[in-house]
Amino acid sequence: MTVITLAIDGRSVQVESGATILDAARKLGIDVPTLCHRPGYAANTSCMACVVRVNGQNRLLPACATPAGQGMIVESESPQVRLSRKIALELLLADHAGDCQAPCTNVCPAHMDIPSMIRHIEAGRMRDAIVTIKDKIALPAVLGRICPELCEKGCRRGLKDQPVSICQLKRHAADVDLASPEPYLPSCLPDSGKKIAVIGAGPAGLAAAWYLAQQGHACVLIDQHPLAGGNLRYAIDRALLPEAVLDAEINLIRKLGVQFQPGQRVGQDISLPDLRRQFDAVLIAVGAIDATGAALLGIELLGNGLKIDKQTMMTSLPGVFATGAALTPYRHAIRAVGAGRLAADAITSFLAGRPIALEYSPFSVRLGVLDIGEKTTFLAGSTDDARVASFPAGLSSDQAITESARCLSCDCGKLQECSLRRWASAYGAEPGHYRMPRRPFHRTDGPRIPCVSAPAQDADETVVYESGKCIACGMCVQITAKAREPLGLSFIGRGFQVRIAGALDAPLTESLRKVAQECVSACPTGALALRKH
């Protein structure tokens, strides 16, 4: 076999004849985006997201279908290549019909994965539910009692009757966890050797400490009050938020190794410059602040809050960050908790010497206003149970399961695996850059297959096809043809209107008898996905 030597981004690599530029790039560990490529199958070259520049030519070539040539000089990350990839992704997104995140997650200030939490509760997987919650929300038992239910304003169940009781379900999962013999504590990375001082032990400071500790950083919470909690302790009716609940959640933060220094006022008992000398980073999370307080800290005030670089959350003092109501007066603790997590991300990047790139809102395509047919699609198969009213004691296990079953599961079935979403986010693609009418949202059920993840615990999963998400990559067509499906899938239509459907208009249940699971795995957008019923 002939060996071919070429260079990609200035790095030399050798591959055997017959290999593609994509093969060579992957051998070097260069992550070239692909949406229509699968090893072992012919290149479709339909997405054009893998284009590269070869030998200085202006015409870009698809890396998945271009054979590697002797002496080739390939550019995979030049401005021209990146722009072309971004355009290709934006064209694919232009008429995309589907939500990435569910509307409830989009409007949640912390962007918690609400549908996953609900599915875990419905299945009785309470530990999985609290893990999902605490990935984004540090104080769920507290917030489940005082949250203004912002997320429920986006719930599509309201199209039928009333929104799902999301906050009550979050509280239920948190209460069950706190009452368990060993409440959930996330694993922490090894000691980083870095120390952070957090000024203010209110919701933003507590949340920041929770996430900083998980990154292996030593964290000290400094607060002027004798007890931690800020407004959660000193400004909320105890009948609404019992002190025992607040103490229990703060105790979990303490168990992660976070230290508390109460009764100390920064600017009087200890200066900010002193803290900066003692710690690798400082976070100001003191709540609403006035000109006097800002002067004590030596930080410039801008409007109603401290002045920061919004991209990094850093003040004019290097290594000093600010978050929460110290920047913008918040009416709701959930916003402060979300801001505290963002600050922890910023500080972790700073301490690692990485550029700080905060994700204020995760990438998400949104369906927007639904027509009558689309509303019917989402409500199909929904339960007729009425919303479970909230109770002072919270929901029982049976009530939580019943309420969870009301969820319509509006999120994408392949949210974490969607290649289109991954690369669109990486290249800064804008879903609305090329304006054109989106396709109607339509969902078709296919065959039911055994649940791969936990067949002994869960019911079978149903293959679901959402045609508005299909980018006509052709992978499922090739897979069904190779497997000799009796009917299989094929291209229908021409040009921009081409889509995938069962051969001879056969239903999906008949078209995917052998390789449904492989087709789902190969689908790059979640057009084919699995749903539990």
Question: Any idea what the CATH number is for the domain that residue 453 is in?
Answer: 3.30.70
* pLDDT tens digits, one per residue of 400-409: 999 999 999 9
Single residue among 46, 71, 91 that ends a domain in this structure? 91
* pLDDT tens digits, one per residue of 277-286: 999 999 999 9
Considering the domain boundaries, does residue 7 fall inside one? yes
What CA–CA distance (Å, rounded) separates 246 from 178? 11
What CA–CA distance (Å, rounded) separates 341 from 205? 9
The model's confidence at residue 117, banded by pLDDT at 50, 70 and 90, is very high
Residue with tokens 């990375």: 189
What CA–CA distance (Å, rounded) separates 293 from 364? 38
CATH number for the domain including 176? 1.10.1060.10
Considering the domain boundaries, does residue 364 fall inside one? no
Total number of domains in the chain = 4
What CA–CA distance (Å, rounded) separates 356 from 118? 32
pTM of the entire predicted model: 0.91
DSSP class per residue in 150-207? TGGGG-GGGGTSS---HHHHHHHHHHHHHHSSS------PPP-S-EEEEE--SHHHHH
- List of residues 6+ apart from 497 with CB closer than 8 A: none
Considering the domain boundaries, does residue 424 fall inside one? no
For residue 19, give its domain range.
Answer: 3-91
What CA–CA distance (Å, rounded) separates 227 from 247? 9
Structure tokens at 41: 């199958």
What CA–CA distance (Å, rounded) separates 363 from 471? 18
**The predicted structure's pLDDT at residue 455:** 44
CB atoms within 10 A of CB 125: 18
Residue 454 clears pLDDT 60, i.e. is over it: no
* pLDDT tens digits, one per residue of 149-170: 889 999 999 999 999 999 999 9
Residue 257 clears pLDDT 70, i.e. is over it: yes
Single residue among 91, 115, 147 that ends a domain in this structure? 91
Cα distance from N-terminal residue to C-terminal residue, the chain: 51
* pLDDT tens digits, one per residue of 360-381: 888 999 998 999 999 999 998 8
